[in-house]
Amino acid sequence: MAKNSVVDLRSDTVTRPSPEMRRAIAEAEVGDDVLGDDPTINRLQERVAELLGKEAALFFPSGCQANQAAIILHSEPGTEAICEANAHHIDYELVGAATWSGVQLRPVPTEDGILTADHVRPYIRRTDDRFTPRTTLICAENTHNMAGGKVMPLDVLRGLRELAMEHGLPLHLDGARLWNASVATGVPLADFAAQTSTLMVTFSKGLGAPVGSALAGSVEAMERAWTIRKRLGGGMRQAGILAAGALYGLEYNLPRLAKDHARARRLTEFVNGLDGFSVVPPDTNIIMIEIERSDLSPKRAIGYLRERGVLVLATARPGQLRAVTHLDVDDAGIERACEAFEALAATPSG
Ligand SMILES: Cc1ncc(COP(=O)(O)O)c(C=O)c1O
């Protein structure tokens, strides 16, 4: 990292394609994917299905659209989909479930973002009550973004799956960062995926591709998802140039996620050693920093860090900052972030 370049820790979505990824993108073989003719997209979909141990996968322009397609696929208008209270579906998909599916999201509060079968059980509502909405879907998120990249352990996901099956309900997993969960735990992606009816994975976060996500599930589910994607305006033509970036990310950037996790731990340990901040050690690459000084607002902290070339975001929670490690932040960048936080901690009150 060049000495004066900005250390952008706002999100792992800020990565720019490397020269090698750009070469793969430039050289991608393409065709009209709406006609099924794009060889690079077909290769990506096969690779994702194979990695996740699912029958089929479908390329989407974004994680939000793939999640929304899954909710449409599994639910019915006028019913409820259960998810964790701070799930991406609730906070960041702009009421998509109500808009596109006519579904009410039923938020289930947890202590740490990890939605267990015990949390969900009391919220499942079935058909025999005329006055309450029926549950048609359970959603999970792994890793959990707003819980600080928290990994949902495999046995917790398995418990959710068993509960879903007991009630004849589908289980959709928002696995935008399932790559990180797998690398952090050593649990194969397919073991997580086996617990789900469908799951969404994203290429434009830790894997460093510019665009794209995939939904995976049975052949029958992906056939239906194809139509839903088209209806949502997600049918793309020579989008093999995007799939090439995703394929490159899977091959070269997936194995290196452990470095992002180690760098997140380094920054956490450093910031935890400073007065006025506390951080719960992250499982993966998302660091949630609590400001414990009443005189220091997130806005002021962000402005101060920005002046020192370090970018972080405020979250929706009062007094909380978020910093995310990714492939465009190296060890030198983390040390610059540590120095900027040290200077911030030393600022006088007021
Ligand atoms: C957990 C989670 N799910 C879904 C998404 C949506 O992905 P996209 O930005 O590709 O729509 C994000 C994006 O940050 C996310 O963090």
Q: Where are the domains of the chain?
A: 19-252, 256-345
64, 288, 315: residue to mutate for ligand 1 pocket, most atoms within 8 A of CB: 64
CA of 335 to the centre of ligand 1 (A): 28
Radius of gyration of the chain (CA): 21
Pairing of strands 56-60, 171-175: unpaired
Helix (H) / strand (E) containing 161: helix 154-166
CA of 175 to the centre of ligand 1 (A): 9
List the pLDDT tens digit at each of the 350 positions of the chain.
655 689 999 999 999 999 999 999 999 999 999 999 999 999 999 999 999 999 999 999 999 999 999 999 999 999 999 999 999 999 999 999 999 999 999 999 999 999 999 999 999 998 778 899 999 999 999 999 999 999 999 999 999 999 999 999 999 999 999 999 999 999 999 999 999 999 999 999 999 999 999 999 999 999 999 999 999 999 999 999 999 999 999 999 999 999 999 999 999 999 999 999 999 999 999 999 999 999 999 999 999 999 999 999 999 899 999 999 999 999 999 999 999 999 999 998 76
Q: Is 88 in the pocket of ligand 1 (CB under 6 A)?
A: yes
CA of 64 to the centre of ligand 1 (A): 6
Q: Looking at the DSSP assignment, which residues form a beta bridge with residue 141?
A: 174
Q: Of all atoms in ligand 1, which is nearest to the CA of residue 204? A: 10
Q: Of all atoms in ligand 1, which is nearest to the CA of residue 87? A: 1
145, 172, 198: residue to mutate for ligand 1 pocket, most atoms within 8 A of CB: 145
C-alpha torsion sign, points 17, 23, 26, 31:
negative
Quote the CATH superfamily of domain 256-345.
Answer: Aspartate Aminotransferase, domain 1 (3.90.1150.10)
Q: Is 213 in the pocket of ligand 1 (CB under 6 A)?
A: yes
pLDDT at 246: 98
CA of 66 to the centre of ligand 1 (A): 10
Beta strands in the chain (DSSP E): 7-8, 56-60, 80-84, 104-108, 135-141, 171-175, 198-202, 213-217, 277-279, 286-291, 310-311, 313-314, 320-324
Token code pair at residue 122: 């009391």
CA of 279 to the centre of ligand 1 (A): 23
pLDDT at 4: 63
CA of 201 to the centre of ligand 1 (A): 9
Distance in angstroms (rounded) separating the CA atoms of residues 202 and 43 = 16
Q: Of all atoms in ligand 1, which is nearest to the CA of residue 65? A: 11
According to CATH, the topology of domain 19-252 is Aspartate Aminotransferase; domain 2 (3.40.640)
Helix (H) / strand (E) containing 230: helix 219-231
CA of 314 to the centre of ligand 1 (A): 17
Q: Is 141 in the pocket of ligand 1 (CB under 6 A)?
A: yes
Distance in angstroms (rounded) separating the CA atoms of residues 57 and 180 = 19
pLDDT at 224: 98
